[in-house]
Structure 1
Amino acid sequence: MRFEDLGDSGFSSFFESLFGGGGGAGFGGFGGRAAGRASGKGPDREARLLVSLEEAATGGERMLSFSDPNTGEDIRLKVRIPPAVAPGRKIRIAGKGLQGPGGPGDLYVQIDVRPHPRFKLEGLDLNTSLKISPWEAALGTTARIETLEGAVTVKVPGGSSSGQRIRLKGKGFPAASGDPGDLYVELKIVLPKKLSDKERALFEELAEVSTFAAR
């Protein structure tokens, strides 16, 4: 079995030149295209495979199951996911399309990435958030934060404000070639819902002595 990783533009131009656009089926479902009529090859098939952000970054193997529309046979294929595969990238599996007089067509598997609970992917950059207390924002602190490569320590400078972003260079999504993206950490100042008597007294004292004007 031969795998070939096609870029988005390569896949699109390939099909537009032959067939003039079209769409794909969901995971486990397939669309067919009349490919290679001159050679007598059968139509190509398409499928989508949903993977985690971590799988898309590091690569791996997944099983794809479907039923052959001609024979009804249940088919299971092992799909190799290359490292640093971008969402929407197509992987070609030669000879796994529909049968034709000149042999079978190919199977094209589109890699889709499911939403992540911590990270939002934008290009090669990742966005996440970090909750800090008001005194940590005022005085500065260090905190541990997760990346795709594991936990790292991030330094929060004193005088930080909510919505401020800290850039961690090279800690974003890996690139198939070249430098990886960056990780952007958005600070979110969180206030305690209930103050103790001592905490309230300290905040009241701060309000009395502070010359800072927020508005």
Structure 2
Amino acid sequence: MDSIGESSWPDFAYYSIEERVRWIFDHYAEDEILMTSSFGSSSALLLHLIHKISPDHPIYFLETGYHFEETLAYKERLQQQLKLNIKTIGAPENKHRFTEENFTYEHNQDLCCFINKVEPLSTLRKSHKIWLSGLFKYQNENRKQLGFFDRKADLLKVYPLLDMTPEEVHTYFFIHELPSHELVAKGYSSIGCTHCTVKGSEREGRWSGKAKVECGIHL
């Protein structure tokens, strides 16, 4: 468990987004902090903050095997621009191959996400105390209910960007000259795997027509 209890968590509503991230790095050791990125439409914002505060901090990328080519290109572009220390993880080859041959993404999206996302992250979760995540309240109803700090068993999740508006996100990208994901201009707002992502506003393009709203790693 954390040495910093819930009573000591700050009220991030009075902190800037940079102050929030700095607080985490001031109060936890580097090897206690987990940072992952999907290199989606808004990922560059938190990555830029990490670059400013702890340039060599590991950024874990989940290679699901189903990413858009544009996402992989965006990852390379951000890695070069921000000099990111990216480490790629993913499912064992035999398990990923099962989802390909079984077309699991078509008839059991939860199982496909578990194999290619949730399970590969499980070991990393156990070896860290805190997980920084770039979720926003405006993305869907589920995320509107989140607070800045979210205790998940022995892992504390922190959402330093949670209360930002779409306009504030756009302004941050503009001021800091951050590149946009190529698919954003083509009508994609939230970008995941190719089989489960269509054009749409915010998260409505993810698992369109299905009851599913999250891949599982944030639940």
Same fold (TM over 0.5): no
Which has the larger share of strand? Answer: 1
Which structure has the bigger radius of gyration?
1
TM-score, structure 1 length as denominator? 0.22
Which has the larger share of helix? Answer: 2
TM-score, structure 2 length as denominator? 0.22
Which protein, 1 or 2, shows the higher relative CO under an 8 Å CA cutoff with sep ≥ 6? 2
